[in-house]
Each structure stands twice: as structure tokens, then as C-alpha cells.
Amino acid sequence: MSISALGYVVIAATDMAAWAGFGRDVLGMMPGAARGDGALALRLDDRPFRLLIEPAAADAFRAIGLECADAATFAQVLAAVTAAGMAVTPGGAALAKNRCVAELACFADPAGNAIELYHGRMTDYAPFVSPAGVSGFLTGNLGMGHAVLPAPALGDAVAFYTDVLGFGDTDRISVPVTPDPDGPAITVRFLHCSNPRHHSVALADMPSPSGAVHIMIEALTMADVGRAYYRAKAAGHHISATLGEHANDRVFSFYVRSPGGFDVEFGCGGWQPDWSTYVPTISTIDSLWGHEWDFG
């Protein structure tokens, strides 16, 4: 496999204060150092940021940052992307510094989702301390968590991630969108990269006006999840799914609507398969229990 992890996400925001309060007080992220461009860095660990919120005239999910282990892998992946006919834009030194990486390049997947490919992660070694008392987040070489992106032409997008970027097929599920089990359904494909996380990217055959379906961050304990759930409720944020346990990746989590219009899954306990023996599966249910959905 070529991609090591989902390293970060970049979000465009009209209400920076809303994102600051949501990230700090609800999710328990640690604000990073002040930045000259007015962006808000939100930390989960010793990286300068895992979520970068940039001030903008319109809200948008701007990009995912995909990490390569080294410069040679970075060059190989870019060559494969170019050979697949996708336009690649070098990031340049200024953007690389802004993203706290050694080198990066930008392109879009077949569904139009923006990708920032990079290598050379930087750390500032400042200890992570959650303002909301979260005990910590599972990151490191597993990356920041996962992102679920819209891909109405699902087959083309999955082929790009697997055949070009080198992701592996983990799982697929089709979820009915009405009470009729034989009615229309949304299909989601779960993809893993070169780390033990069950999936780092998932693709859903649906549009999403916000630019993302959801992102997921993984805390260390069930208590972290429960406390975040009740912080979100107390703050009046829309709960898109109540507490529950997913069937395919075993994550205990809830979903809360972000100021950007997409959901954030806050969970713990994700399954880490042994890829040397793993066989891709087809899930027939979304969750083992809980996760009562409210898409309003």
C-alpha cells in the first residue's frame, strides 16, 4: 500500500468562533498556536493540528491530507495519479509550511473531493492537554481517524483509491433510506491504508452539500465518549446519531452536527484487523445496537 494515514482535514468556515467552541468545549480538542493567516488549528496530539479551520466567505469541507511515509513513496503516488490522468498541482513551500509538512501536492479524486498528498510530518512536541478533560485520542501512525466522502459515481472513485492510491478494500454496506428494506439505499465502501485502522477513508454514493458526510475522531475510553455526548447535548448541538456500536468496525460512538454542516463521529474502541489474514466483508446492518439516526 502507498498511503500511510489520513493525516489531517482542512475546513473553510464563516464562523470561526463557532468552530473554536465546538472543537474545544464539545470535542475536547486543544487549540494550537496562533497563526498569522487567521486559521484555527485544532490538535488531537503532538501534531500542530489535525483539523485546520480556515476563515472563508462560505462554509466548505476543503480537503483531506493523506500522508506518505517518505519522499520516494510520495513521488511514486504522484506518478500514479498523473498516469491516471488527474491534474496535479505542486503545493509549494508556502503551503507546505502552512500545513506543517515537508512537501505536498494537490489533486482531486474522480468525485471532486480535494486531496492534499504530503510527506514529512512535523511535530512541535507540546504535550496534548484537552480543555474538556478528554483522556487522549488514538492517533500516531494510525492518523487522525477517518473521513467519509461523497462519491455518487462510486465505482470510479473506489477504483481510484484502490488502484491508484493503493488503499485496500475493507468492507461495504448498503443502508436503506426508508423503512422499506427493498427501497432505495445508500452504499458505503470502507477503505484502509498502511496502518491497522479499520478504515481511513470511506466513500458513499450520495451527494453532500457540505462536502463531506462525516469525519471520525477516536478517543481512548468509553467515558470520553459518554462525556462528549452529554457535552454536545448540553450545548444544544444537533445529535445525528445517539450512542451505539457499529457492526463492521466495532466503534462505540455518537454523531454530532458540526458548524460546517457535516457530522463528526466521536468514538472509541475501533477494531484493528490483521491485514495479512483479513478478507473483505459485506455488512448487512449498520450497527449492532443504538445509533438512532436523525438527519434533520
pLDDT in tens, 164-206: 999 999 999 988 777 777 778 889 999 999 999 999 999 999 9
Whole-prediction pTM value?
A: 0.96
pLDDT of 205 reads 96
pLDDT of 1 reads 65
Structural domains of the chain, with CATH:
5-121 (3.10.180.10), 140-290 (3.10.180.10)
Per-residue three-class SS string for the chain: CCCCEEEEEEEEECCHHHHHHHHHHHCCCEECCCCCCCCEEEECCCCCCCEEEEECCCCEEEEEEEEECCHHHHHHHHHHHHHCCCCCEECHHHHHHHCCEEEEEEEECCCCCEEEEEEEECCCCCCCCCCCCCCCECCHHHCCCEEEEECCCHHHHHHHHHHHCCCEEEEEEEEECCCCCCCCEEEEEEEECCCCCCCCEEEECCCCCCCCCEEEEEECCHHHHHHHHHHHHHCCCCEEEEEEEECCCCCEEEEEECCCCCEEEEEECCCCCCCCCCCCEEECCCEEEECCECCC
pLDDT in tens, 8-37: 999 999 999 999 999 999 999 999 998 989
pLDDT of 90 reads 97
Given a cut of 80, whether residue 229 has pLDDT beyond it is yes
Averaged pLDDT for residues 259-263: 98
pLDDT in tens, 77-110: 999 999 999 999 999 999 999 999 999 999 999 9
Averaged pLDDT for residues 105-121: 98
